[in-house]
Amino acid sequence: MITLRRWWADAPATTLFTLTAVAVYVITALQSRSVMDNLPGSSLGAAWVLYGPEVAQGGLDRLRALGAVFLHIDLGHVAINCFMLMLIGREIEKFAGTALYSAAFLAGGIGASATVLWMAPYNPTAGASGALFALMVLLLGIARVRGNDLRAPLVLILMNVIYTFIAPSVSLWGHLGGLFAGLMMVWFFISSRPAVRWSGVLGVLVLSCVLVLLV
């Protein structure tokens, strides 16, 4: 409890995003009665998984672009993504503040969803990986501003990109979409001027939402 309170004090949005992903996983696991294949048989999984033909119907199905960010396919999937989010997200949130960080997270996640819908609409997709790719790019930018060694964040991005191309189960376009969203945001995000930071992040967020609406 003490650790959770400390994390909440340092990074409330990161903690909230992580707890949301865990809660969604628990619900889908209970509904499907499976911890390792928790989407089949889950009504929440069926309603939130990102699938182009469903999103194209419009209405509340557009929200799949956001819901899918917090939806994961098994225990390992949610554990890895939540672990990465808590480590990376906390550093970025402490640098940028909760509001700007939250907008950047959503821009990365929805941007990844938009890319999937346009490039691979018939591949059902779920997970926070796209948002994490955007955050990894922002972490690299923060390291640059701080004058830190860039090798660690560069290796982190490189290893994840390599894994994206060799692992058959991951969403190629989801990861690349998140990476591209991060690249579009990073110059703005590390600016010393708040207006520049917000204009870049909100610009990517609005663009991502528009792309979803145009599907």
pLDDT of residue 79: 95
Please tell me the predicted confidence (pLDDT) of residue 5.
Answer: 76
- The residue extents of the domains of the chain are 2-213
Digitized pLDDT (tens) for each residue of the chain, 215 residues in all: 557 677 778 899 999 999 999 999 999 999 999 988 889 899 999 999 999 999 999 889 999 999 999 999 999 999 999 999 999 999 999 999 999 999 999 999 999 999 999 999 999 999 999 999 999 999 999 999 999 889 988 999 999 999 899 988 889 999 999 999 999 999 999 999 999 999 999 999 999 999 999 99
What DSSP designation does 121 have?
T
Token pair recorded at residue 186: 């990073």
- For residue 138, what are its two tokens? 């922002």
**Ramachandran angles phi, psi of 147, nearest 5°:** 75, 20
Identity at 189, one-letter amino acid code:
F
Tell the CATH topology of 2-213. Answer: Rhomboid-like fold (1.20.1540)
3-state secondary structure labels for all residues of 67-136 = HHHHCCCCHHHHHHHHHHHHHHHHHHHHHHCHHHHHHHHHHHHHHHHHHHHHHCCCCCECCCHHHHHHHH
